[in-house]
């Protein structure tokens, strides 16, 4: 198969949206011989690897598929994991009312800031002091 036919076949596979290509970010730094190994799109972009978009075995960590993909692309299988994007994965969302946010623009005396920093739990100390002093009740 000629290089032109191969490149055209790869671009057709990509248009099917079952696969995607990883773009080479600095093709100008590559020699012409190196660029011959890349897949051009005709718009000045060069691609270096072909990857499946959605492969259930790969995403669930099947070692055979992950290993095969890693061998084809020269990358580690862990780099392609979907992490927290899976349904039900990750930590549950924190309720907006109790989510911690930075306190900006507050000015306190230096001695107080030194004490807070020494306590290593500045946010919790301030919260406890305000709850105790003003009798506040945090949301559940």
Over the stretch 25-46, which tens digit does the pLDDT of each residue have? 888 888 888 888 888 888 888 8
- Write out the residue range of the structural domain in which residue 27 sits: 3-82
Q: Kindly give, in sequence order, each residue whose CB lies less than 8 Å from that of residue 90, ignoring residues fewer than 6 positions away.
A: 83, 84
Q: Would you report the helix, strand and coil content of the chain in percent, each value rounded to 5?
A: 50, 10, 40
Cα dihedral 55, 56, 58, 62 sign: negative
Assess whether 121 and 59 both reside in one domain. no
Mean pLDDT of 119-127: 82
The pLDDT value recorded for residue 139 is 83
Smallest Cα–Cα separation from 56: which of 46, 48, 47, 66?
66
Q: Cα angle at 25 between 22 and 31, to 5 degrees? A: 105
Q: Are residues 19 and 45 in the same domain?
A: yes
pLDDT at 135: 92
Do residues 11 and 67 share a domain?
yes
The answer on 66 and 34 residing in a single domain is yes
Number of folded domains in the chain?
Answer: 2
Whether residue 23 contacts residue 41, with contact meaning beta carbons closer than 8 Å, is answered with no
pLDDT surpassing 80 at residue 14: yes
Q: What is the pTM of this model?
A: 0.37
**One domain, residues 66 and 103:** no
Q: What is the pLDDT of residues 57-109, one digit of tens each?
A: 444 444 444 445 444 555 544 454 555 566 767 777 766 666 776 667 777 78
Q: Rg of the Cα trace of the chain? A: 27
């Amino acid at each position: 198969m000629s290089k032109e036919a191969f490149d055209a076949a790869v671009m057709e596979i990509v248009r099917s949206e079952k696969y995607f290509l990883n773009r080479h970010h600095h093709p100008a730094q590559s020699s012409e011989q190196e660029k011959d190994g890349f897949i051009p799109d005709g718009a000045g972009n060069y691609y270096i690897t072909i990857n499946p978009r959605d492969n259930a075995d790969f995403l669930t960590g099947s070692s055979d598929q992950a290993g095969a993909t890693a061998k084809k692309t020269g990358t580690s299988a862990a780099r392609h994991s979907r992490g927290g994007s899976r349904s039900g994965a990750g930590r549950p969302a924190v309720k907006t009312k109790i989510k911690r946010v930075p306190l900006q623009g507050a000015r306190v005396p230096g001695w107080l800031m030194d004490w807070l920093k020494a306590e290593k739990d500045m946010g919790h100390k301030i919260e406890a002091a305000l709850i105790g002093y003003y009798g506040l009740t945090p949301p559940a």
